[in-house]
Structure 1
Amino acid sequence: MMVNKALVNLSGFADVSVVIPCYRCKNTIKRALDSVYKQTLRPAEVILVEDASDDGTLEYLNSILKEYSVGWIKVISLEINSGPGTARNVGWNASSQRYVAFLDSDDSWHPQKLEVQYSWMERNPNVALTGQMGVVISEGVGATLNRYQLNNVVFSEISKFRLLLSNKFSTPSVLIRREVQYRFTAGKRFCEDYELWCRVVCAGNGCFTVNVPLTFCYKPLYGHAGLSSDLWNMESGELSVYDVLRKNGKINLAVACFLKGWSLVRYIRRAMRIKFITRLS
């Protein structure tokens, strides 16, 4: 895929601010940053929001700034640990570009990730958000590049009903227009991202998935150490999304009840699967 020079701003960068919440991430943040720096269409800025870590993460972030272009990375330090949603809001509000991309400190991007999404969204100004569910891998970034080639790129619209049935976007994959007025619910630590995507699509904004692998996650969504114990918290967070949408008049009582029932069925199936896998291990 060739970069359309008309889509690059005068500084030679894409009009994208990348926001990365950072909490106890000294072992993984370099991998994430390198994957952003090596983009074929590099973003104009990266905003690292240090979420009051107690292990020297802030000092480490400041120490690696010199390894990248001067001024390309901004570090914002929070005094109180507030969770990734709040950290992303802080970075989003501090961003200066027309688009905001999110990346987690322990994930990474395909080198053409921004080129694919940014170029397509520039040609489709009515679309507010693009993304996908990230690909879970276990090997390093270099090993993935030979395996995941970008052929026949297709963007598909996600309807309100499809998104309400299940989340279609992992946060590190999302590219969103900065002008979107909604934000992550402050202080909410489970499904705050899913709530935001639902609010965006329920407001009539176009949301599309892309079929090629652009985002790489290094741990499974469920069953990973620390995550399986949070399974019910995640389910409770999802159920609360439907309460918020109903309260705001986006769905009625019947739809909310149906969605909650469907969510609980999926939760039970997921919990049983994890329990079975745990017994085998």
Structure 2
Amino acid sequence: MVELAPLRTPRRVTAPPVATAPVTVVIPCFRCADTIADAVASVAAQTLPPRQVVLVDDASGDDTVSMLHALAAMYRPGWIEVVELPHNQGPSRARNAGWERAREEYVAFLDSDDSWAATKIELQMRALREDPSIALIAHPTPILERGAPRPPAPRSARTRIIGRRRMLFNNPFPTPSVMLRRDLPFRFDEKFRRVEDFLLWGQIAFSGYRCAKLDADLGYVHKPSFGAGGLSGDLKAMHVAGREVRRELLRQGFVSLPEHCVARTIGSMRKVRHRLLLAWRRATQGA
């Protein structure tokens, strides 16, 4: 009699795990139902996607919250967390609230009306692996008209360390470009509703933490940085807030009095330049 070989239980075939980055993306949201889907889509399209996304509604009072929950349902369960703040307190509080919910090693910030190139997280994580001492890393974020064709996503980027002297002149780190260590001992100052990001970056850099910037355009701002509507469009208020930030850094002992004087002089020169540029823009648009 021929003995039959015992039947073997077929092994379960599983798909290889998708590589992800130890990054939490924090997006403050205020009346952004028309733009937030595009912002989140640019996060989902990353070649190295983040492990967590936190959408923080800053008491919008419209249909924004419904949109955020609808977006969370569109993606895999648990990837997007929606936080609803009871009172409107500005972007500093919203970003801090998202930061508090972060579970990953790094936190990246994106605004609800901006977007990222597909390789943003991949290239920033590559730079962080090559130099783990970097605590904050950013990149340029050029203005791109909403709906306009995007350039091909960069495949490589060079890393440049940003020193103390560079930080004195102006803010080299656009908020939608910043990725930083979750465990840093600073947070956004909630008393500031303008240039609050510059104060935080200054506290980090002037405390001796290593900060860097890639030379590739890995994100896009879909509105002019000044001279337009919204908080960033109030040019006068931006310069007043910048002056307050420099005073606050001096008061907290992060910069010396001579450094403060140099920064104040440069700030005044930039104010004149911005006024001239804004006047030219208005003249050309009215022509």
3-state SS of the aligned residue for 1:129?
strand
* Distance in 2 of aligned mates of 1:81 and 1:116: 34
Query: In the alignment, residue 186 of structure 1 is paired with which amino acid?
Result: E
Equivalent AA in structure 1 for residue 176 of structure 2: P
Deviations 1:19-76 (A, max 9, x none): 0000000000000000001111110010000000021111121122221111100000
Work out whether 1:202 is the aligned partner of 2:206: yes
Change (3 A) 1:227 1:245: closer
1:51 aligns with 2:53: no
Match of 1:264 in 2: 268
1:250 aligns with 2:258: no
Counterpart of 1:164? 168
CA distance in 1, matches of 2:72, 2:50: 16
Q: 1:229 to 1:118 in 2, by over 3 A?
A: closer
Q: Which amino acid aligns with 2:193?
A: R
Give distance in 1, aligned partners of 2:233 and 2:216.
31
1:1-281 equivalences in 2 (<5 Å)? 12-140=19-147, 143-144=149-150, 147-226=151-230, 230-281=234-285
Q: Quote the Cα distance in structure 2 between the aligned partners of 1:139 and 1:53.
A: 22
Q: Which has the larger radius of gyration?
A: 2
CA contact (8 A) 2:194 2:232 kept: no
Letter in 1 for 2:191: G
Summarize the Cα distance change of 1:187–1:213 in structure 2 as closer, same or farther, 3 Å threshold: same
**How big is the shift at 1:251?**
1.7
Shift of 1:13: 2.1
Secondary structure, in 3 states, of the residue corresponding to 1:172?
helix
Q: 1:139 deviation in Å? A: 4.3
Note closer, same or farther for the CA distance 1:251–1:218 as it changes in structure 2 (3 Å cut).
Answer: same
TM-score normalized by the length of structure 1: 0.91
**Secondary structure at 1:280 match in 2:** helix
Distance 2:47 2:128 in 1: 16
Where 2:201 maps in the other structure, the secondary structure is: helix
Task: Count how many residue pairs are aligned between Structure 1 and Structure 2.
Answer: 269
2:77 and 2:233 map into 1 onto residues whose CA distance is 41
What secondary structure, in the 3-state scheme, does the structure 2 residue paired with 1:91 have? helix
Q: Cα offset for 1:229? A: 5.3
> C-alpha displacement at 1:149, in angstroms?
4.2
Question: Within 2, Cα distance between the matches of 1:228 and 1:95?
Answer: 26
Counterparts of 2:93 and 2:256 in 1: how far apart (Å)? 28
Q: Is the 8 A contact 1:21 1:105 kept in 2?
A: yes
Q: Does the 8 A contact of 1:221 with 1:227 survive in 2?
A: no
Cα RMSD, aligned residues only: 1.6
Three-state SS of the structure 2 residue aligned to 1:272 is helix
Q: Distance in 1 between matches of 2:41 and 2:58?
A: 21
* 1:209-261 Cα distance to aligned partner (Å, 9 max, x none): 10111011111101223457511111111111211111121222222122112
| Structure 2 CA distance for aligned equivalents of residues 43 and 228 of structure 1 | 28
Percent identity over the alignment? 36
Relative distance call for 1:45 and 1:229 in structure 2 (3 A) is closer
Measure the CA separation in 2 of the matches of 1:13 and 1:228: 33
Hey, what's the Cα distance between the residues in 2 that align with 1:229 and 1:92? 26
- Listed as ranges, the gaps of 5+ residues in structure 1 are 1-9
Q: Deviations over 1:262-281 (max 9, x none)?
A: 10111111012102221232
Looking at structure 1, the residues matched to 230 and 283 of structure 2 have their Cα atoms a distance apart, in angstroms, of 17
